[in-house]
Amino acid sequence: MNESIIDVRKMTKRFGSRTVVNDIALQVRRGEIYGFLGPNGSGKTTFIRMLCGLLKCDAGEGTVLGYDIFRQSELIKRHVGYMTQKFSFWEDLTIAENLDFVARIFEVPNRRKAVAASIERLGLADRSTQLAGELSGGWKQRLALAACLIHQPELLLLDEPTAGVDPKARREFWDQIHSLAAEGLTFLITTHYMDEAERCHRLAYIAYGDLLTSGTVAEVIEEAGLHTWEVSIMTNDQ
């Protein structure tokens, strides 16, 4: 699909004299899984927060889901699901109670039905009455994803969603992401894992606020112009 869900240009954010995001342009198409890579402190989280209206840009223009990033940030918030780096739900509430609370915030119609459907979709039915604080990292991740989906957004912004999660849970999470993308949901995902980057349709790499490269995995590797060498040591017996 060629419809642009994210289409922004010259995105810039400064904190004092420090430029954290510098003149970045990004286009993400509907149904695409777009990977956003870069070291800690490179500006990935700041960029995502500007996209969903949590931070105001110092400069830039464009749209998210067709809404202007400056004039319609409140509408963007209503139609985007944002999963933060740190687990940000209530540990003294059960899975079902957490989802019900989020559904109330978004004024989801038929709230109880929506919560039950979200629990079933993410495989949380057997743990729906368990306190969130008792969950492992992988199950907390599932709860966070279910909460992001409760209001049926068209775009999910996931900020290092698999950090600190075991390999099995990471694989299951990415299988779920690809299943949702096949239904038309769009993703912008920050990650440090190269194996996860390879599962994205396209990538962008940011360092110290500057966008260094973007494209498919094959295009990014080709543009880097890297060469691999193999050295073998021969012994006298060979």
154 part of a folded domain: yes
Q: Which of 64, 55, 139, 58 is nearest to 95 (CA)?
A: 139
3, pLDDT greater than 70: yes
55-111 pLDDT per residue, tens? 999 999 999 999 999 999 999 998 999 998 888 889 999 999 999 999 999 999 999
37-56 mean pLDDT: 90
pLDDT reported for residue 217: 83
Instruction: Give the amino acid at 183.
Output: E
Cα dist from 167 to 41, 76, 164, 188, 191, whole Å:
25, 33, 9, 21, 14
- Decide if 175 is inside a domain: yes
- With residue 111 as reference, give the H or E element that holds it: helix 111-121
Q: Which domain holds residue 79?
A: 4-224
141 part of a folded domain: yes
CA distance linking residue 110 with residue 147, whole number of Å: 15
Report the alpha-carbon distance of residue 138 to residue 176 in Å, rounded: 13
Per residue in 212-228, pLDDT (tens digit) is: 999 888 888 787 766 66
* Position 90 in a domain: yes
Query: Is residue 232 in some structural domain?
Result: no
- How many domains does the chain divide into? 1
152: domain CATH number is: 3.40.50.300
> What are the C-alpha distances in Å from 7 to residues 11, 25, 35, 186, 206?
11, 8, 15, 13, 17
Q: Is residue 236 situated within a structural domain?
A: no
pLDDT at 51: 93
